[in-house]
Chain A
């Protein structure tokens, strides 16, 4: 599975808990209320554990976490 699919599944299961099953990879995660402060921290922890990628603190910004698509593109750089 690629980053996009894994992230989408994780967000649907762990952060949305079945609330919004039609989440798309382009959806804005913050503006749509899909992730909050703890959600971001959870997502960072998940990425580090699941993909064995150490996300630099300076990269934990809205621009890299705006949507599943943007986040996957960012992770592809590692």
Chain B
């Protein structure tokens, strides 16, 4: 079963690439409409057409990506702690170093692009971007995972080892609160508590995703029990994956219409989280089912952090390139989406292959993790 975690990481990073490609797809359809039609933007006439629902279906499907990354990271913490001992600070330090150095390198590269485009910004703007992972949309994950690792020796490991039910209940309650707070905010209700919860749980901070990491640590420490549970519930988990995907998809459409807004930025609701959980667990539960192209998924899994860091700026450059050079292609999602997905995978993988085959090889880990 453990080998499946590597493939899961491969699926998850493809999910991240697809997610940001759909984001640019929506941008092309609604905010860049004036590049190919004489209308004022944003122009939401295409909300509800086939391209919209295709992008939404993809966006809904890949909701498991970040939970999967966090689950695998939590599992690693249990491994590193071993059967008897506590996880060492040297292990935590090295893990964070391997995350943060490539993150800083690529963030600075993006800052250079910002400076070339708009000139220099005040130093504190760069400092804030680094601290909260704002250089690119997916970068919040690095400060988030760093916090989880830092809290592991004092919080996750002791609790997961001895009071794992308490840890799962506590982490589940925290995350549930964050998900439930989304509903009044989406619907535009003036609920002070929900606004406070949202303010205290940005994406880069632990409450929004704490359950996934905690669950990974607990699963790692109590593997026989976890496997037994998975085997017993695997068909329910598989059914839950399909049902929650559909319910979450419909829920978003209902919330969108009920909100009265012309557009809603993606948010993770409770049904999204239930879908993600069922997806990951069902995938782990059917451990005997062979995965097609397992070797390739494993390869992608080993390169997931590098792909994760580089795909977003690469996609942005290509999307903006199409905007400026070939705007007539923007409304055609059948062309635009595959182009961005290929870019998001090919550019990082090509860079990694080049570094791996040249004198720069010893620096590979610093650049790609």
Contact = CB atoms under 8 A, between A and B. Distances in A.
A37 interface: yes
A53 interface: no
Given A41-B5, A57-B2, A31 B90 contact: yes
Given A31-B94, A45-B3, A38 B9 contact: yes
A65 B85 CA distance: 14
B97 A33 contact: yes
Chain B interface size range: 35 or more
Contacts of B94: 30-33, 36
B72 interface: yes
B6 A30 contact: no
Contact of A36 (B6, B82, B88, B95): B95
Contacts of B364: 17
Given A31-B94, A44-B2, A63-B83, A36 B224 contact: no
Interface string B62-78: 00000000001101100
A58 B356 CA distance: 33
A6 interface: no
Interface in A20-70: 30-33, 36-38, 40-42, 44-45, 48, 55, 57-58, 60-63, 65
B83 A48 contact: no
Contacts of A55: 2
A77 interface: no
B185 interface: no
Chain A interface size range: 20 to 34
B3 A37 contact: no
A32 B80 CA distance: 12
B351 to A, nearest CB: 14
A17 B365 contact: yes
B326 interface: no
Given A17-B356, A33-B98, A62 B80 contact: yes
Given A17-B356, A58-B224, A42 B302 contact: yes
Contact of A37 (B75, B88, B362): B75
Interface of A: 16-19, 30-33, 36-38, 40-42, 44-45, 48, 55, 57-58, 60-63, 65
